[in-house]
Amino acid sequence: MTNDINGPSRRAVATILALGASAAQFVRPALAQPVTVKADVRIDANEHPEGPIAQAVTAATAALSKSNRYAPGTEREDLITTIAAIDGVKPDMVVPWPGSSDPLYRLVRAYSSATRGLVVAAPVFEMAAGIATDAGYKVTPVPVRPSDLAHDVKAMLAADPNAGLYYICNPNNPVGTLTPLADIEWLAAHIKSDAILLIDEAYIDYTPAQKSTALLAKYPNVVILRTFSKVYGMAGMRMGYTLARPDLIKPLMDWGSPSPYMLPVPAIAAATASLKNYGEITKRVEAIAITRDWTIARLEALGYKSTKGLCNCFMVDWRTPAKPVQQAILAKGVAIGRNWPVWPNMSRITVGTPAEMKAFIAAVEAVKP
Ligand SMILES: Cc1ncc(COP(=O)(O)O)c(C=O)c1O
């Protein structure tokens, strides 16, 4: 029902469309329909409820009038050096992309296959598995650890010790929980030397102490994926980046257009301005945490248990199939997230503004699932 957080294939198709005709053979036409969500409250797509911070809007607006040039100035270099300084890596480890779906698609295509498979958690953001499945690659889902809902890294390795790509999402969309850094490092240390550990940190700004950046210097086969689509409020602007050794990124160029060199200049400017005014992002993180904890407490008071989400999403257990509940809540004007096949009674909830979450709780009270 949405065009952002719907199932794997539609996400994959959106990326494929962005990559252009060379990947057209993978498009499944029935899934390639963009759908706009019609709801007063949209807490379905893990976006931020507000647009870019004011400084980013100012920077993007200034860049817009110079957008007759592919590269009006040093915008791309400025973004790379800003990220490199923040993460303490050499600038050649940073590659900006138009969002993170684009490099995710390429990473799956380049580093997994029918024989060297992809290992993912269940549940986890389904895009990587969707891309691999569409390509006819081997996919091994491994349930999250029951005790803390973290990725079960030992089970992930045991499930396919010969995999080409291990996908970790930290914090994990949709559960909102963290996988301890020590566990992620254990996986980095134990996978085959020619396998890749991909750490998707789309939501890491909500838990900045959990960044995996230090692993890059210790393990040569780690790739970190980040995006400006979430707390930065830039999903519609398309900016993200990879942190990895340049030789790991080079093969990705075989899987689509040279998009890292053809980025929208206003989006680059907005991304750099967001990082340079990070205090505003921290304020957003704090506000979302307060609203999230309020929402989880209200749901608990109504008798519904939730996962202990630490970012801008969590899952709530309706104790009855989630799809009809999602439809009933939508009929009240509130679009909530989908459910995952492993947990059919649970819906993902994205944290919006306090007013939006009050409307959500009012809808739950009215629907009484
Ligand atoms: C974990 C994760 N990775 C990647 C993406 C892709 O986002 P984008 O292409 O907008 O950067 C999303 C979007 O929902 C996500 O949740």
Within a domain: 266? yes
Domain that includes residue 187, residue range: 54-276
| Residues 285 and 253 both lie in one domain | no
- Please name which of 317, 358, 271 lies closest in space to residue 79, comparing C-alpha atoms: 271
Min mean pLDDT across 177-181, 256-260, 274-278 is at 256-260
| Residues 241 and 323 both lie in one domain | no
Within a domain: 219? yes
Q: Quick check: helix, strand or coil at residue 283?
A: helix
Q: How far, in Å, is the centroid of ligand 1 from the Cα of 113?
A: 22
| Residues 115 and 65 both lie in one domain | yes
| Burial class of 7 by CB neighbour count within 10 A (0 to 12, 13 to 18, 19+) | middle
Within a domain: 46? yes
154 close to 121: Cβ distance less than 8 angstroms? no
The mean pLDDT value of the chain amounts to 91
| Residues 270 and 295 both lie in one domain | no
Within a domain: 3? no
| Residues 166 and 68 both lie in one domain | yes
| Residues 240 and 226 both lie in one domain | yes
Per-residue pLDDT tens over the stretch 187-246: 999 999 999 999 999 999 999 999 999 999 999 999 999 999 999 999 999 999 999 999
Q: How many domains does the chain have?
A: 2
| Rounded CA separation 178/262 (Å) | 34
Q: Which of 276, 310, 328 finishes a domain?
A: 276
Within a domain: 215? yes
Q: How far, in Å, is the centroid of ligand 1 from the Cα of 302?
A: 31
Per-residue pLDDT tens over the stretch 53-75: 999 999 999 999 999 999 999 99
| Residues 46 and 82 both lie in one domain | no
| Residues 217 and 294 both lie in one domain | no
CATH number of the domain within which 209 lies: 3.40.640.10
| Residues 225 and 320 both lie in one domain | no
Q: How far, in Å, is the centroid of ligand 1 from the Cα of 100?
A: 6
CB under 6 Å to ligand 1: residues?
Answer: 5, 46, 99-101, 104, 125, 169, 173, 200, 202, 227, 229, 235, 240
- Give the number of other CB atoms < 10 A from CB of residue 228: 27
Within a domain: 2? no
Which atom in ligand 1 lies closest to the alpha carbon of residue 227?
11
Q: Which of 234, 254, 276 finishes a domain?
A: 276
To test the pocket of ligand 1, the residue of 16, 97, 101 to mutate (highest count of ligand atoms within 8 Å of its CB) is: 101
Min mean pLDDT across 5-19, 24-38, 142-156, 261-275 is at 5-19
Q: How far, in Å, is the centroid of ligand 1 from the Cα of 229?
A: 7
| Residues 313 and 192 both lie in one domain | no
- Looking at residue 37, its pLDDT comes to 77
| Residues 195 and 318 both lie in one domain | no
